[in-house]
Chains A and B, each alone.
Chain A
């Protein structure tokens, strides 16, 4: 019966604090029990109730998940296995017998126990004979043998050692395959026999050289716990023939040794093959080669630079020399031209000056043309290049007075510097 609340008297406030509750007493609580631990965790971590409950709830979920594999051992055995001769139980696949062929060496003790229980329920002779069949306990015997093997750590190791069904077959040589995809499981399965755990994984195409090297060196020095007792020939139990018994025992030991050696050889061959086919190794080799070339290139950089500089210098020098020669030639040609031009100009000026008197019609003194020409000739002889140009430009106008005065001026100028004897002049006056 639930508690009934009293009716409200219609107060407006929905909550009203009336008084304080009694002061608490401080007491030590006993640090025992899981609720104390919960309290401690809450206090130390400062969790509130809901946070704590949330964390606890999360924990519960994982617990539930762990109990997940309920269908363990539900696998069906095939006809051949069910009809297997119990005397030849060693040749049967004992994991398949227990319905654990998907787990094999990975099956935990608990899983084995549960799977065995299921198989017993399914294949118990009582059950079989009830359904009509007789002499049907063959498979049951194998189940018991399988359990006997699996429940003993040593025996299980011995069986796992020779359980080739759990081995992953490497890809056929000279076939096209993805290296990582094909070899990864092979080495993962080989790794289970290692005494040293954890076993490095094959990695992927992006693994570094160190990782790959570590992987191959691990498998190169592989220390396996594989033993081959399971393949022993049964030692006769009777005490009648001791020699025969010892003979068999010796033979077994020798056989085991041989098998172990063979297995080691097989593994070495396997690792060598994988190494030779590993595309990463090729990549690393190429990378190493490229690296080496680059190093060499770098190492020679100094001398190469010097040679380059030398060549550049040489080229530059050649260039310079060529340029200089060209310039020289140009210069030569230019000076020749200039000289010629100057000569021509001189000639022209001389011609102008010589013609000037005639053009000025000898200043009205045609009679004295002989004197004038002689004077002009004399002046022209004495004039330098610059004066020639000045005079020629002055006289070029053809104006008689200007020409005459120009001649007079230049004659006076020349006489002034002592270049010409005024006395020699017949017409012009200095």
Chain B
């Protein structure tokens, strides 16, 4: 199930995630109608048990889509989606005196945004007129313009739409000082309620570039809930010989409790499950430990892990190339997911999840924190400037294909410019000439190879462990190594004193001309310069 979060950045750059009047910071994107009353958030979610046909869920992905284009099974637990005359999607709601009301997706979005706006206004105490909203990367142009339109109808001017993984990564990187300036490659994996998204993003000089994205529409927390539902239903059937999955109400109750159990098990080892009058008047009480749950949901966790591997493959990279994995979305609270994902990557790769790093930000809030940060950044710009900045001429930029560096005395490749860096680039390194009077700076393109070293297992002295096969296998350590590839240019510096400080500057301009310059770091020295172009 989709949820929404709202956040605001203070003057000092700190971000506050705003809780709605119910105290929820992850606000379920659900609207429910009982008579004249409209319920929103957790209150509406509670209505899913008693009043599912008047409860609108999972409408976000329908924005700007026609009825024929979407899989309407996402709304099967709530109010059924129907087709309007012009092919759009709407929900049929019964309000007071049995009057039916057709709520289109746009109307639902508008009402939802109004509720969020009210919650934020309550919290801040002043009016809100502008916002930054995040969207999944697979939202097309039409869906984006539609969302902006609906937001406008709800009284919110959208300053910018930001892709969810970028927003999440921005929030993650901004949490640590200067982390944004480290040249690293990230995987942002967002495991939501009913869908999963992942993106490979390279960060170079503070600029984010998406290298690949992947989407899995039927994978998410719901699948974990379903496996728990299945498990409990079997338990219940065994005890009372009644199938709780047959009636919608029992199923809804079981599902609601399963969600609670899942959440509890993310924090503690065992959880109880107690539902009064689950089916045919039988109460259901049982307890489950984390191991049991993880076994039950093993296939789902497996799918999630392979989903992460898939996106890396899509980017044409190896798990070795990934420096950090940022887990986003409510499902990322699951300890098993985090540990499974970390097994895919080498030990050098950091997996950011609350179960592995207690200091990590709440994964369900990362995205909206990023949006709030972006909002605080662009707040000082006028609308015109923001619009101009989002033009393709600014956004579409040349990216360096291969790393470029120099060769040191031992013949090793020393990277200066990292691959996938957006133009223009300017980097400098400080080197020395050692004892040589004249030195040569040879500029090379890097050639990526994966070095495999086999580490012989340390012989185990304990004889009893010998029957465990896995310990016998030699461990293979893989490592990405760059070697010098094509020689691009040579530059020599002469008549140097031993151990003088030298500076090599590589600069690629917007139009792709590479300038190489080398000079001695002392006052009055003349730099030797030259330029080459790209193929």
A interface with B by C-beta (< 8 Å): 2-11, 13-44, 49
Contacts and interface: CB of A to CB of B under 8 A. Distances in A.
A19 B404 CA distance: 13
Interface string B396-429: 1111111010111101001000001011101001
What 7 A-B pairs have minimum CB-CB distances, sorted nearest first? A35-B206, A15-B530, A40-B389, A8-B438, A24-B398, A30-B208, A30-B166
B533 A20 contact: yes
Nearest to A49: B426
Contacts of B162: 30-32
A23 B492 contact: no
16 contacts: A3-B414, A4-B434, A5-B409, A7-B409, A10-B438, A14-B493, A18-B487, A21-B486, A21-B534, A30-B166, A32-B166, A32-B208, A33-B206, A36-B207, A39-B207, A40-B388
Contacts of B480: none
A18 B491 CA distance: 10
Contacts of B434: 4-5
Contacts of B516: 15
Given A8-B492, A11-B490, A21-B488, A3 B431 contact: yes
B431 A2 contact: yes
Given A21-B534, A28-B210, A31-B162, A5 B431 contact: yes
Contacts of A2: 430-432
What range describes how many residues of B lie at the interface?
A: 35 or more
A21 B166 contact: no
B494 interface: yes
A15 B514 CA distance: 13
A7 B438 CA distance: 6
Nearest to B430: A2
A22 B490 CA distance: 17
Contacts of B360: none
B409 A22 contact: no
A5 B436 contact: yes
Contacts of A24: 398-401, 423, 512, 534
Given A17-B531, A37-B389, A5 B408 contact: yes
Interface string B422-464: 1110100111111010111110010000000000000000000
B489 A18 contact: yes
A8 B440 contact: yes
B187 interface: no
Contacts of A31: 160, 162, 389-390, 394-395
Most-contacted residue by chain A among B388, B420, B436, B492 (CB, 10 A): B492
Contacts of B390: 31
A23 B508 CA distance: 12
Contact of B209 (A21, A27, A38): A27
Interface in B61-76: none
Contacts of A4: 408-409, 431-434
Interface stretch (B97-105, B253-261, B370-378): B370-378
B490 A26 contact: no
Interface centre among A6, A19, A37, A42, by most B CB within 10 Å? A6
Contacts of A28: 209-210, 392, 395-397
A20 B512 CA distance: 11
A37 B487 contact: no
Interface string B488-508: 111111100000001000010
Contact of B528 (A15, A25, A38, A41): A15
B535 interface: yes
B490 A18 contact: yes
B156 interface: no
Contacts of A5: 406, 408-409, 431-434, 436, 439-441, 502
Nearest to A7: B436
A23 B535 contact: yes
Given A27-B209, A30-B209, A33-B180, A21 B414 contact: no
B177 to A, nearest CB: 13
B214 interface: no
B205 interface: yes
B131 to A, nearest CB: 15
Contacts of B420: 27
Nearest to B507: A49
Nearest to A42: B424
Contacts of B489: 15-18
B532 interface: yes
B201 interface: yes
Contacts of A16: 489-491, 530
A39 to B, nearest CB: 6
B309 to A, nearest CB: 22
Given A8-B492, A21-B534, A21-B535, A26 B431 contact: no
A10 B167 CA distance: 52
B170 interface: yes
Contacts of B528: 14-15
Given A5-B431, A5-B434, A8-B494, A32 B370 contact: yes
Contacts of A25: 398-399, 401
Nearest to B417: A21
B268 interface: no
A10 B414 CA distance: 22
Residue among A3, A21, A38, A49 with most chain B CB within 10 A: A21
Interface string B128-171: 00000000000000000000000000000000101100110010
B285 interface: no
A349 to B, nearest CB: 120
B303 interface: no
Contacts of A7: 409, 436, 438-440
A109 to B, nearest CB: 14
A8 B496 CA distance: 11
Contacts of B424: 42, 49
B393 interface: yes
Contacts of B486: 19, 21
Given A14-B528, A17-B531, A32 B167 contact: yes
B525 to A, nearest CB: 13
Nearest to B514: A21
B251 to A, nearest CB: 41
B398 A15 contact: no
A5 B206 CA distance: 29
A213 B184 CA distance: 67
B397 A26 contact: yes
A88 B142 CA distance: 71
A41 B381 CA distance: 11
B535 A34 contact: no
B218 interface: no
Nearest to B528: A14
B433 to A, nearest CB: 6
B492 A6 contact: no
A41 B392 CA distance: 14
Given A20-B532, A21-B488, 9 more contacts: A5-B406, A5-B436, A5-B440, A7-B438, A14-B491, A30-B208, A30-B210, A33-B173, A44-B385
